[in-house]
């Protein structure tokens, strides 16, 4: 926003490198952690006859391993800002440059540009596709559960537990759907930039980055509306 209103040269080269590296790594973690969250919810909801049911006992252990794996993955795949980021462009040629107004990631040649950008696109595609597949599985589980629940009688405690799990699963599916929409728009623009467009226009990059922050702006509203504890806390706070 500062760059849009005319503030230039806010950071040094080192400041830009650290800032964009943290920003890109955090964005990658958001996609991967959301995918893992959807997978965890799918395992929790899995019936006893499912192959996923055996993972419930080791869910905590696997979750920690998965977290450190995706952290390492994103730290390694997002090293390009540490190498190619500058604070001031020495040229007006933006063919292999992502210019953000305050910093820029500029690549020296076509091969480096394509190798870096397509590796990031493939990573995003894999995790978003995983998110879509598992979300569809959860929806199918909820449908089957609602179909069977009328024929099954259980005690109040079990029903309460199932209701809480189903409510949590619905919220997770909503969050995953929103993420898929926003990241889908962002990656569609990104794919256009790296495969079709001959020049990376700053305005197109601004639109892409707008979609990249939409999820962070929307998901707190979903959590507040769906979580009774959060709503109760906010009422007490006000």
The string of pLDDT tens digits covering residues 112-121 is 888 888 888 8
pLDDT band at 150 (very low <50, low <70, confident <90, very high): low
Is 72 a residue whose pLDDT tops 90? yes
Closest CA to 218 of 186, 184, 182, 185: 182
Edge to edge, what strands does the sheet with 97-99 contain? Answer: 85-86, 104-106, 97-99
Question: What pLDDT does residue 21 have?
Answer: 92
More confident: 115 or 170:
115
pLDDT band at 58 (very low <50, low <70, confident <90, very high): confident
More confident: 82 or 159:
82
Class of domain 13-237: mainly alpha
Question: What pLDDT does residue 55 have?
Answer: 73
- Are 15 and 22 in contact by the 8 Å Cβ rule? The answer is no
**Taking the domains of the chain in order of start, what are their residue ranges?**
13-237
The string of pLDDT tens digits covering residues 191-216 is 877 777 666 677 777 788 788 777 77
Distance of alpha carbon 174 from alpha carbon 72, whole angstroms: 28
Distance of alpha carbon 200 from alpha carbon 178, whole angstroms: 27
pTM of the model: 0.72
């Amino acid at each position: 926003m500062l760059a849009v209103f005319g503030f230039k040269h806010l950071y040094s080269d080192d400041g830009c490198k650290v800032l964009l590296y943290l920003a890109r790594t955090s964005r990658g973690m958001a996609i991967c952690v959301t995918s893992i969250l959807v997978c965890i919810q799918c395992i929790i909801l899995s019936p006893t006859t499912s192959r996923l049911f055996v993972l419930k006992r080791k869910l905590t252990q696997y979750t920690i391993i998965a977290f450190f794996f995706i952290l390492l993955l994103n730290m390694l795949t997002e090293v390009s800002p540490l190498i190619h980021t500058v604070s001031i462009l020495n040229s007006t040629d933006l063919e292999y440059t992502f210019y953000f107004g305050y910093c820029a990631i500029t690549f020296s040649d076509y091969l480096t540009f394509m190798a870096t950008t397509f590796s990031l696109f493939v990573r995003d595609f894999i995790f978003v596709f995983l998110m879509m597949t598992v979300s569809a599985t959860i929806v199918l589980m909820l449908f089957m559960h609602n179909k069977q629940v009328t024929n099954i009688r259980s005690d109040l405690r079990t029903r309460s537990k199932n209701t809480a799990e189903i409510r949590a699963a619905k919220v997770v599916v909503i969050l995953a759907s929103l993420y898929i929409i926003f990241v889908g728009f962002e990656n569609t623009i990104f794919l256009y930039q790296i495969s079709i467009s001959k020049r990376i226009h700053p305005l197109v990059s601004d639109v892409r980055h707008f979609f990249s922050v939409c999820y962070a702006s929307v998901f707190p509203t979903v959590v507040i509306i769906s979580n009774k504890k959060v709503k109760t806390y906010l009422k007490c706070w006000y």
